[in-house]
C-alpha cells in the first residue's frame, strides 16, 4: 500500500510538473500571440508612415540619431522588458542609471514621434511600440535590414533604475555578456553576436574604452589586442588629462553605415570596446563559436542582416505588457495621471 501510494505520488508529482511547464509555455505563446504586425491596422492605419517620416527628419538632422534611437530600444527591452520604462523622467528613472547617463539620447525625437502619432491616433499607440518602430526605421535608413515589427505592447508604470545599472556593458567579459542576454531570454550566441553588430553605427565616449589605452587589466600596458595605429589615435583623442568626454566612431572607417565593417574591424583587431573585440580575440569557452560567427558576418552581409533582423524581433518580445496590463501613455516621459 505504501509502495503504491509512493508510486502514485511520484506520478502525480511528475504530472504536476508537466502541467506547470505546459501552462508556462502557453503563457509565453499567449503573450507573443497578442503582438502582431497589424495590431494597429484599424485603430492607427498610418502609424508606420508617421513614425518613418519623423525618423527620417531626425536622421537627416543628425546621422548619429539613428544609432541613438536603436540603442533606446535595446536599453528599454533589457530592463523590465519592452515597456517604454526607459523613457520615464524622474531622478529614479532608468535614463539616470550609470549605463544610460550621458549615453542614452534621442528622447526629444521620441517626443516628436509621439506628438505626431497622437495628432492622428490619440491614446492608441504605446511609447514602447514607437521605440520598436523607430529602431527598425533607424536601421533601415542607415543601410541595414528591415523587418516586420510585431506590435501591441503597452507602457509600463514604473522605472527600474537598479535593473538598468546591470545592462550589458563595455567592460564585461563574454561569459557575463552571454549571461545577461540569457537572463532576458536571448539564450543564443547568434543573438549576442548579431545584436552586438548594432555597433556598426554610433559613437562611444573615451570613458567606455580608455581602460584599453594604458593600464589594461592592471598590466601597466595597453590592450595587446588593439591595433597599433588605432591605439595611437585613441591615445591622442583620450589623454589622461582630457577635458570633457570626447567621442569616436564605434565602427572605425564606417561611422554611419549599417554594414559588416564592424565585424571586419574585429577580425583586424580594430574593435573599439573591449566587449566587442572579445567576440573575436577572447580566450573564454564561448569565444571559438563567437569568432566563427564574426568571421561569417564579416564576409556575408546577407547572413548578418538576416540574423540581426530575427534577433531584433526576439528582443522585441522580451516581457511585453499586453491586454489590460500597463497603459498607453499620453506623454512618454510620465505615466498618465
- What span, in angstroms and rounded, lies between the C-alpha atoms of 169 and 106? 20
Cα 251 to its chain centre, rounded Å, is 17
State the cell numbers at 281: 580575440
Name the residues annotated as catalytic. 75
- What residues contact 231, with CB distance under 8 A and at least 6 apart? 212, 213, 222, 223
Q: Check whether 122 is labelled as a binding-site residue.
A: no
Q: Check whether 84 is labelled as a binding-site residue.
A: no
- What span, in angstroms and rounded, lies between the C-alpha atoms of 322 and 135? 20
Q: Check whether 219 is labelled as a binding-site residue.
A: no
Q: Check whether 155 is labelled as a binding-site residue.
A: no
Q: Check whether 2 is labelled as a binding-site residue.
A: no
Q: Check whether 251 is labelled as a binding-site residue.
A: yes
Q: Check whether 30 is labelled as a binding-site residue.
A: no
What count of other Cβ atoms lies within 10 Å of the Cβ of residue 156? 29
Q: Check whether 81 is labelled as a binding-site residue.
A: yes
Q: Check whether 172 is labelled as a binding-site residue.
A: no
Q: Check whether 199 is labelled as a binding-site residue.
A: yes
In terms of Cβ atoms closer than 10 Å to its own Cβ (0-12, 13-18, 19+), residue 15 is exposed
Helix, strand, coil % in the chain, rounded to nearest 5: 55, 5, 40
- On the CB side of 294, how many CA atoms lie within 13 Å of its CA? 25
In terms of Cβ atoms closer than 10 Å to its own Cβ (0-12, 13-18, 19+), residue 130 is buried
**Cα R_g (the chain), whole angstroms:** 22
Annotated binding site for substrate: which residue ranges?
168
Query: Which residues contribute to the annotated binding site?
Result: 76, 79, 81, 83, 85, 94, 168, 199-200, 251, 259
List, as residue ranges, the binding site for Ca(2+).
76, 79, 81, 83, 85, 94, 200, 251, 259
Amino acid at each position: 500500500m505504501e509502495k503504491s501510494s509512493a508510486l502514485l505520488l511520484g506520478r502525480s508529482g511528475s504530472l504536476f510538473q508537466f502541467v506547470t511547464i505546459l501552462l508556462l509555455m502557453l503563457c509565453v505563446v499567449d503573450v507573443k500571440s497578442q503582438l502582431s504586425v497589424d495590431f494597429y491596422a484599424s485603430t492607427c492605419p498610418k502609424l508606420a508612415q508617421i513614425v518613418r517620416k519623423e525618423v527620417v527628419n531626425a536622421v537627416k538632422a543628425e546621422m548619429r540619431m539613428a544609432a541613438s534611437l536603436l540603442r533606446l530600444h535595446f536599453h528599454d527591452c533589457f530592463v523590465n522588458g519592452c515597456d517604454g520604462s526607459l523613457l520615464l523622467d524622474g531622478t529614479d528613472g532608468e535614463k539616470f542609471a550609470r549605463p544610460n547617463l550621458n549615453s542614452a539620447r534621442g528622447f526629444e525625437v521620441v517626443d516628436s514621434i509621439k506628438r505626431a502619432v497622437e495628432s492622428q491616433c490619440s491614446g492608441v499607440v504605446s511609447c514602447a511600440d514607437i521605440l520598436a518602430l523607430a529602431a527598425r526605421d533607424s536601421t533601415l535608413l542607415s543601410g541595414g535590414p528591415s523587418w516586420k515589427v510585431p506590435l501591441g505592447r503597452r507602457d509600463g508604470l514604473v522605472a527600474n533604475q537598479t535593473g538598468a545599472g546591470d545592462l550589458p556593458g563595455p567592460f564585461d567579459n563574454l561569459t557575463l555578456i552571454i549571461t545577461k542576454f540569457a537572463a532576458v531570454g536571448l539564450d543564443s550566441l547568434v543573438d549576442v553576436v548579431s545584436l552586438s553588430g548594432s555597433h556598426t553605427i554610433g559613437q562611444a565616449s573615451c570613458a567606455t574604452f580608455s581602460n584599453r589605452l594604458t593600464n589594461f587589466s592592471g598590466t601597466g600596458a595597453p590592450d595587446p589586442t588593439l591595433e597599433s595605429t588605432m591605439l595611437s589615435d585613441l591615445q591622442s583623442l583620450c589623454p589622461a588629462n582630457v577635458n570633457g568626454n570626447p567621442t569616436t566612431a564605434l565602427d572605425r572607417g564606417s561611422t554611419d553605415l549599417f554594414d559588416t565593417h564592424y565585424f571586419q574591424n574585429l577580425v583586424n583587431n580594430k574593435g573599439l570596446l573591449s566587449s566587442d573585440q572579445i567576440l573575436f580575440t577572447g580566450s573564454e569557452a564561448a569565444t571559438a563559436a563567437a569568432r566563427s560567427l564574426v568571421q561569417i558576418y564579416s564576409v556575408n552581409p546577407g547572413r548578418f542582416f538576416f540574423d540581426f533582423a530575427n534577433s531584433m524581433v526576439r528582443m522585441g518580445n522580451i516581457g511585453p505588457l499586453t491586454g489590460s496590463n500597463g497603459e498607453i501613455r499620453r506623454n512618454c516621459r510620465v505615466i498618465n495621471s
